[in-house]
Amino acid sequence: MNRLEVAANGFATASILLATRNNIHSWWTTIVGCSLFALLFFEARLYADVTLQFFFIVISAIGWWMWLKGDAGAPLPIRHAPQSLLPAMGLIGLVIGLGYGALLHSFTNAYAPFVDSAVLVLSVIGQLLLMRRMYETWFVWLAVNIIAVPLYLSRGLQLTALLYAFYLLSNVYALAVWRREMRRGKGV
């Protein structure tokens, strides 16, 4: 465990705590944390995770704006994803994940390229749902964290694995909070 891992985990913890509480400050803390994680994952040869961090930085800026102004100038409410969206995203994600994993396997010295790519693809899907404040985002994040914890442990990133285990628990909490706010009509 080094200072970079500690700092990245600190910002990531703040980000997830804010996101589970439906707080807009989760976006800028995500940007800082992802910048630090990009460096950490590069050192650990988890290249799909490096790519993911750059995606998160860009998408977090967009998500921040969408939460403020994304629904005809008004904040987005929490809502359910359309029924056809999740299977389509799942199929596209599977194809992209296998393809990216194959590229990493063939052309880099990446560690666990297919598992790392699964974390990448599921995280992208989860983030896209989060940007639109769709309740189902938290089920996708549960899957991400179940996969990520053993991956990070296998690379000696104990603090990061602990963070993702914490994410797993916070996902369950977020499901309850978002469901309650959605039912009350307070999803903004």
CA distance 43 to 92: 29
Structure confidence at residue 85 (pLDDT): 95
Given a contact cutoff of 8 angstroms between Cβ atoms, the answer to whether 77 and 144 are in contact is no
Structure confidence at residue 68 (pLDDT): 81
Given a contact cutoff of 8 angstroms between Cβ atoms, the answer to whether 146 and 167 are in contact is no
Structure confidence at residue 69 (pLDDT): 77
Cβ atoms within 10 Å, residue 85:
16
Nearest to 185 by CA among 93, 79, 83, 99: 79
Nearest to 55 by CA among 23, 88, 100: 100
CA distance 45 to 30: 21
Structure confidence at residue 43 (pLDDT): 94
DSSP 79-142: BPPPTTHHHHHHHHHHHHHHHHHHHHHHHS--SSHHHHHHHHHHHHHHHHHHHTTBTTHHHHHH
pTM for the full predicted model? 0.84
Structure confidence at residue 165 (pLDDT): 96
Cβ atoms within 10 Å, residue 26:
21
Nearest to 110 by CA among 155, 140, 170: 155
CA distance 123 to 56: 9
Residue 155 contacts by C-beta under 8 Å, 6 or more apart in sequence?
44, 45, 46, 111
Spans of the chain below 70 pLDDT: 70-71, 73, 186-188
Structure confidence at residue 188 (pLDDT): 52
